[in-house]
């Protein structure tokens, strides 16, 4: 294998380190979430292509590259925060995983090459089966209804290998997992490597590849494995393309035209569905945003789900008001994100906002806060305000609302479980904590 050269750290596609010329004439492949990898992006120069290494949570899209390679289990991490320190597998980046799953299916439709390197993977952690939703590899196989299981012992001597993957398998290809393609075998599946009747690697539609490998011991080894595997996948695709020249497409089966029309329709539907998913992803930003982006997202959600329009002040964007048709102020809002929970000073700021506008305490005050921003799970995020803070909010005529409760309220309205008009009524008449749970909105005093 040709030596690799790292051309820079903290890069995005198109950027290079000082003193390096951009290589715009070569394909760009991405290695995503590699084991032992750094937290920032970097690019590795290979003969014939550049390999961009991106960490989990990167803002770069798979669709901006010519191929993607990642390890099965890249999104998984063992968590011991439960009862009695019992281990369990959880997803290290849930929102990123949702995004990458969607990009996988979109990319496959656009002829993207995706390579999964499959090392030893657990089926259980502690006393629990691993959730099949916590990693991209598990989700894709579940979606394609392809069953897999761990081998009782590693298979280091793999036979029947397609030539492009021969060098990779001979160097890195110990197998720990077998796949069951013969049980409801998916269309367009071809075996890459096997031992006897055990399928150890395969490809789908000449686009998605599942290749056995050892667990890399160092970051450099992980990069080398990724580069060699994606090179093999591209070479395999080129050979298959030559084996099926373009002119043969001129022959069409009678039913083929209908299937192609159906595929086009499904792609159009997928585009519409993806737009809807993006909309929800934007609103879920209320659980992690602060400052101007938080305020703007709250404003959009209130309009789209509740027909409530609030206006921010030019100099104090976190301060907003709800007005009637004549411009009279009906309520004042404070919107902010903090690492902790509601505080006395936050409630006081609502009162100060009223005083600055020369309003009495009878004017409703609403404090919408994205609380507990540094937590690592939704369970940790779901912390109620302290009873003393709730009591103070009642005394000061302030309604407390977490962004988590606001999202739940919007969800229940869209699902027809709550009326959208009910939120406006509570904002203008109640004080305390507006708790939203189990299809209900209730006031806690």
pLDDT tens track, the chain, 445 positions: 445 556 555 444 444 333 344 466 889 999 999 998 888 888 998 888 999 999 999 989 999 999 999 999 999 998 876 566 778 888 999 989 999 999 999 999 899 999 999 999 988 887 788 889 999 999 999 988 899 999 989 998 887 789 999 999 999 989 999 999 865 455 578 899 998 889 999 999 899 999 999 999 999 999 999 999 999 999 999 998 887 777 777 788 888 888 878 878 887 887 788 788 888 888 998 998 888 889 999 999 999 999 999 998 767 778 899 999 999 999 999 999 999 999 999 999 999 999 999 999 999 999 999 999 888 888 889 999 999 999 999 999 999 999 999 999 999 999 999 999 999 999 999 999 999 999 999 999 9
Q: Give backbone dihedrals phi and psi of 222, rounded to 5 degrees, phi first.
A: -60, -40
User: Is residue 266 in some structural domain?
Assistant: no
> How many whole angstroms separate alpha carbon 426 and alpha carbon 441?
10
User: Is residue 260 in some structural domain?
Assistant: no
Q: Give backbone dihedrals phi and psi of 271, rounded to 5 degrees, phi first.
A: -60, -40
User: Is residue 75 in some structural domain?
Assistant: yes
**Which CATH number characterizes residue 198's domain?**
3.40.50
**234: domain range?**
5-251
Give the domain-ending residue among 251, 273, 301: 251
Query: Residue 348's pLDDT is what?
Result: 94
> Are 154 and 13 found together in one domain?
yes
Query: Residue 12's pLDDT is what?
Result: 47
Per DSSP, the residues of 149-209 read EEEEEEE-S-BS--GGGHHHHHHH--EEEEEE-SSSPPTTEEEEEEETTEEEEEEETTTEE
Query: Residue 82's pLDDT is what?
Result: 59
> Are 86 and 137 found together in one domain?
yes
**180 Cβ neighbours under 8 A, 6+ residues apart:** 146, 147, 148, 149, 199
Query: Residue 318's pLDDT is what?
Result: 80
Q: Check the CA dihedral 237-238-240-245 and report its sign.
A: positive
For the record, the structure tokens of 204 come out as 């789908």
> Are 302 and 219 found together in one domain?
no
Query: Residue 8's pLDDT is what?
Result: 54
Structural domain count, the chain: 2
Query: Residue 14's pLDDT is what?
Result: 42
CA quadruple 184, 200, 96, 15: dihedral, nearest 10 = -130
> Are 245 and 322 found together in one domain?
no
Cα distances (angstroms) measured from residue 201 to each of 31, 109, 338: 19, 22, 48
> Are 294 and 233 found together in one domain?
no
**Which CATH number characterizes residue 425's domain?**
3.40.1350
> Are 335 and 384 found together in one domain?
yes
């Amino acid at each position: 294998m040709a030596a690799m050269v790292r051309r820079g750290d903290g890069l995005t596609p198109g950027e290079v380190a000082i003193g390096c010329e951009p290589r715009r004439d070569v394909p760009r492949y991405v290695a995503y979430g590699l084991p032992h990898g750094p937290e920032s992006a970097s690019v590795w120069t290979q003969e014939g292509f550049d390999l961009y290494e991106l960490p989990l949570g990167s803002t770069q899209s798979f669709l901006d590259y010519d191929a993607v390679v990642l390890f099965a289990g890249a999104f998984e991490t063992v968590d011991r925060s439960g009862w009695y320190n019992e281990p369990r597998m959880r997803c290290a980046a849930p929102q990123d995983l949702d995004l990458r799953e969607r990009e996988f299916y979109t990319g496959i439709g656009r002829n993207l090459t995706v390579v999964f390197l499959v090392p030893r993977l657990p089926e259980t952690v502690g006393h629990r089966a691993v959730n099949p939703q916590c990693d991209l590899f598990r989700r894709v196989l579940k979606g394609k209804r392809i069953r897999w299981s761990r081998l009782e012992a590693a298979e280091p001597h793999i036979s029947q290998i397609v030539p492009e993957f021969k060098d990779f398998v001979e160097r890195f290809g110990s197998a720990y997992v077998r796949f069951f393609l013969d049980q409801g075998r998916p269309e367009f599946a071809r075996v890459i490597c096997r031992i006897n009747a055990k399928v150890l690697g395969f490809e789908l539609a000449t686009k998605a590849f599942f290749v056995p490998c050892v667990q890399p011991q160092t970051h450099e080894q992980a990069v080398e494995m990724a580069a060699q595997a994606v090179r093999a996948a591209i070479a395999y695709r080129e050979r298959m393309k030559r084996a099926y020249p373009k002119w043969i497409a001129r022959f069409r089966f009678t039913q083929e035209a209908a299937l192609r029309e159906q595929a086009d329709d499904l792609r159009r539907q997928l585009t519409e569905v993806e737009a809807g998913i993006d909309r929800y992803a934007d609103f879920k930003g209320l659980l992690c945003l602060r400052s101007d982006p938080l305020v703007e997202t709250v404003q959009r959600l209130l309009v789209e789900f509740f027909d409530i329009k609030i206006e921010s002040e030019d100099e104090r964007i976190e301060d907003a008001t709800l007005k009637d048709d004549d411009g009279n102020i009906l309520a004042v809002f404070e919107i902010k994100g903090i690492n902790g929970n509601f505080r006395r000073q936050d409630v006081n700021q609502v009162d100060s906002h009223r005083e600055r506008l020369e309003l009495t305490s009878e004017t409703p005050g609403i404090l919408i806060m994205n609380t507990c921003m540094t937590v690592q799970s939704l369970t940790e995020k779901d912390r109620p305000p302290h009873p003393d803070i709730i009591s103070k909010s009642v005394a000061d005529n302030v309604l407390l609302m977490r962004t988590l409760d606001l999202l739940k309220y919007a969800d229940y309205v869209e699902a027809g479980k709550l009326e959208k008009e009910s939120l406006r009524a509570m904002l203008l008449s109640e004080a305390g904590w507006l708790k939203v749970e189990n299809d209900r909105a209730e006031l806690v005093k």
